[in-house]
Amino acid sequence: MTKIVVVTSGKGGVGKTTTSAALATGLAQRGHKTTVIDFDVGLRNLDLIMGCERRVVYDLVNVINGDANLKQGLIKDKRVEDLYILPASQTRDKDALTLEGVEKVLDGLKEMGMEYIICDSPAGIEKGALTAAYFADEAVVVTNPEVSSVRDSDRILGILSSKTRKAEQGEGDIPARLLLTRYSPERVESGQMLSVEDVKEILAIDLLGVIPESQAVLNASNSGSPVILDRDSDAGQAYEDAVARFLGETREHRFLTSTKKSLFGRLFGG
């Protein structure tokens, strides 16, 4: 049984691609055969984050158009077994994505025995984002703790509840979970950022995880290695927790309080 997961947000730059890469890598590390697809046709990024940009021959649009078969389009990850990447086309635009074409690709991946297909959605609420979400069984909504990102996520949640295939077939909303990224407890405490509780209250969905604002994410992007592979980093561990929760494990949320404060607490005997 293949599960199709869309990673989406509405707003750009909140960490969809970082999350897609980490989630796919984490699932594959746990032995689940996983493909991550870049739906951001025209603004290809996932290959950079996954560090396979020098091995891209064919892309999603080539496979949809039949210029290449699925096996030719898939890039096998060199670090993690059972992990495949299907990059976006940089030269085409999102009109090249057709629902029939995407369905054919997803069906092909199912036949290959994929357990998880992670769809990295482009920003916005236009065709690209709708196509990425259409076939999803489940959604991960990536949100930053600030009002515009929260509002856009809310908009996306509304769209998910009506514009997916399951919704159109009357099977109701697909399950959607919140991943709060770039979280800075210090800035929450100083009132510059919304807290986890604020965001949860506004969006009214389950919390999959909180990823702290971390230099490790930038380092990982620059080096083309998903941050979840950086096991010593806070962000890497937070993604590791999120993957465990995604698979049904119960794990305490970490990195929610400022480390500075606890250091002070220790100094002053608190």
Partner 1 sequence: MTVASEEKAVLEFKGRMLMMTVLHLKDLDPNTLHREVGRRLDEAAQWLRDAPVVIDLADPENSSQIELLAAVDTLRGLGVNLVALARNAHLDADTAAMLGLGSISLAGGRDVPRPEPAPASQTPAADTLVVEQPVRSGQQIYSHGDLIVLAPVSTGAELLAEGHIHVYNTLRGRALAGVRGNTAARIFCQDLDAELVSIAGHYRVAEDLPDNQRRKAVQITLDGDAMRFVELSGK
Residue 173 touches partner 1, criterion: CB under 8 A: yes
CB of residue 133 to partner 1, shortest distance in Å: 14
Residue 158 touches partner 1, criterion: CB under 8 A: yes
Residue 194 touches partner 1, criterion: CB under 8 A: no
Phi first, then psi: give them for residue 249, nearest 5 degrees.
-75, 155
Residue 207 touches partner 1, criterion: CB under 8 A: no
> Which helix (H) or strand (E) covers residue 142, if one does?
strand 138-143
Stretch that binds partner 1, among 60-68, 106-114, 115-123, 201-209 (CB under 8 A): 201-209
Stretch that binds partner 1, among 101-109, 163-171, 196-204, 259-267 (CB under 8 A): 196-204
Residue 167 touches partner 1, criterion: CB under 8 A: no
Enumerate residues 6+ apart whose C-beta is below 8 A from 156.
Answer: 8, 9, 10, 125, 129, 141
Task: Say which residue the tokens 């891209």 belong to.
Answer: 56
Instruction: Answer whether 234's CB lies under 8 Å from 212's CB.
Output: yes
CB of residue 144 to partner 1, shortest distance in Å: 16
CB of residue 154 to partner 1, shortest distance in Å: 4
Contact pick of 76, 155, 254, 261 for partner 1 (by CB under 8 A): 155
Instruction: Answer whether 224's CB lies under 8 Å from 50's CB.
Output: yes
Contact pick of 112, 159, 244, 256 for partner 1 (by CB under 8 A): 159
CB of residue 79 to partner 1, shortest distance in Å: 38
Residues 112-151 binding partner 1 (CB under 8 A) are 151
Contact pick of 115, 154, 186, 189 for partner 1 (by CB under 8 A): 154
Helices 147-163 and 196-203: crossing angle, nearest 10°?
30
CB of residue 143 to partner 1, shortest distance in Å: 13
Calculate the dihedral angle through the C-alpha atoms of 159, 169, 138, 87, rounding to the nearest 10 degrees: -80
CB of residue 102 to partner 1, shortest distance in Å: 24
User: HSE of 249 in the Cβ direction (CA atoms, 13 Å)?
Assistant: 13
* Helices within 117-258 (DSSP H only): 127-134, 147-163, 165-168, 185-189, 196-203, 215-223, 234-246
Task: Say which residue the tokens 């962000």 belong to.
Answer: 235
CA distances from 228 to 28, 32, 52, 217, 261 (A): 11, 16, 16, 9, 26
**Closer of 55 and 200 to partner 1 (Cβ):** 200
Contact pick of 100, 113, 169, 204 for partner 1 (by CB under 8 A): 204
Name the site residues for partner 1 (rule: CB under 8 A).
151-152, 154-155, 157-159, 161, 173, 201-204
